[in-house]
Amino acid sequence: MWLFALIPFFLQALAIGIDESYFHVKRGLPKWERIGHPIDTFCFLICLLFTLWMPFTELNLKVYIALAVVSCIKVTKDEFVHTHHCPALENWLHAFLFILHPITLIVACCMWPVIQGQEVPVWLTHLFCEPTQLYRILLGQALFITLFFFYQIIFWNFIWHDRPIRKM
């Protein structure tokens, strides 16, 4: 059953991959996106790292929820401008990502006490029965997001930054 935990992470990676490799390359990214997208990624990464580094306590859960809410709000910041720069299909893809973003954060939060071996509700035990595998999933996701964060900074700000921006 722990494989179900991979689904939102996989869908999110697939959608971001399409957004990056097709839409962003095709239209180019203005400076506000070259700066803003890594900030969005960093906010998401902080949430994942929090589940890996911090013990699951009532206080830390509240901190995590606050971080997750900030991350979910942060990723929507560009949509007022995107409506003028992006085609409808890219805007739809962003909407899909906005749905997946809190889902992946909720799944990570549900995995958090399990990977630490804490007593959890029965339904979590049945859904996520392999703490070692769950830890590897979260760690792998955090490593992937870290690499993606550096890719966003390096590729868009040092390699591709001088390409013309096309309104699509």
Per-residue model confidence (pLDDT) at position 131:
77
Helix 131-154 / helix 31-53 crossing angle, nearest 10 deg: 160
> What pLDDT, in 10s, does the model give residues 79-100?
777 777 788 899 999 999 999 9
pLDDT band at 44 (very low <50, low <70, confident <90, very high): very high
Cα(88)–Cα(62) distance, integer angstroms: 36
Sign of CA dihedral 22, 25, 31, 35: positive
Averaged over 9-14, what is the pLDDT? Answer: 95
pLDDT tops 90 at residue 105: yes
Per-residue model confidence (pLDDT) at position 121:
65
